[in-house]
Amino acid sequence: MGLFITFEGIEGSGKTTQIGITGDYLEKQKIPFIITEEPGGTGLGSELRQILLDKTSLAITEKAELLLFAADRAQHIEEVILPAMSEGKVVLCDRFSDATIAYQGFGRGVDVDFIRTVNSFSSQSLKPDLTLLFDIPVAAGLKRITDRISPTGKASLEDRFEREKAEFHQRVREGYLSLLRDEPDRIRLIDGSRKVDEVAKEVCHFVTNLIEGSCEGDVF
Ligand code: Z5A
């Protein structure tokens, strides 16, 4: 089997930037990999992503939102993640089950134990080999997003989550830090407020350690 690495963090923590850099690094090392994301890593997922993020005027209850993310994951696991892993690839995934606990659990207030049950069903109980948690103060993360949306601060392109208040994102950040305390061996904390190349060095260190550790196995 390949390896499964997830990239997590609040908005603007820089995880999408770092997943691209990690992909470039693996390519140079000639290590087979894929980059994928949730929501949206499949055809069905792309449709669900539009509903979940872009259709901001559409009413979606907290329970419905949870189940839509779960549906996206159920399709993603079967269509993309497990096949790539069975081909021995490294799967780099932008968000996974931890995001559901952080956003729908800590952010929205849905029961976390119930979310764990739903996560386990939709992910076929697959756990990442390594999760990189990019941590940044909420204000700094949101500023990066606002600057990206429009240098003038116009917020017309914000998605459903970007529209949430800072307190929501603060609860999500605390949710991620609580997951880190529960599983310090799987989840590695990365200070995302540093410069891109400083962050990338640390990411590379964790990814290399994981791959070297698995070299004695049957993959690489
Ligand atoms: N969601 C959920 O609720 N439940 C779930 O189960 C799942 C997801 C799976 C997906 O949004 C949303 O779905 C997400 C949670 C929810 N929403 N929120 N919040 P998305 O995929 O569209 O977006 P995102 O995952 O939140 O990522 P993002 O907005 O693209 O941000 P990012 O990945 O953390 O950061 P980035 O794209 O790498 O960088 C953002 C900007 O900062 C960009 O202009 C970069 O050039 C800049 N940047 C990046 N790194 C740095 C550093 N180090 N210094 C300075 N500037 C930087």
For residue 220, the model assigns a pLDDT of 36
For residue 150, the model assigns a pLDDT of 65
For residue 137, the model assigns a pLDDT of 98
Residues found in the chain? 220
Q: Is the pLDDT of residue 106 over 50?
A: yes
The whole-number average pLDDT for the span 1-17 is 97
Q: Is the pLDDT of residue 30 over 70?
A: yes
For residue 148, the model assigns a pLDDT of 83
For residue 159, the model assigns a pLDDT of 87
Closest CA to 164 of 212, 109, 119, 218: 109
Question: Ligand 1 center to residue 24 CA distance, Å?
Answer: 19
For residue 219, the model assigns a pLDDT of 37
Tokens of 131: 């999760």
Nearest residue by C-alpha to atom 25 in ligand 1: 11
Contact indicator for 8, 96 with CB cutoff of 8 Å: yes
Q: Which atom of ligand 1 is nearest to the CA of 160?
A: 17
Q: Which pTM does this prediction carry?
A: 0.95
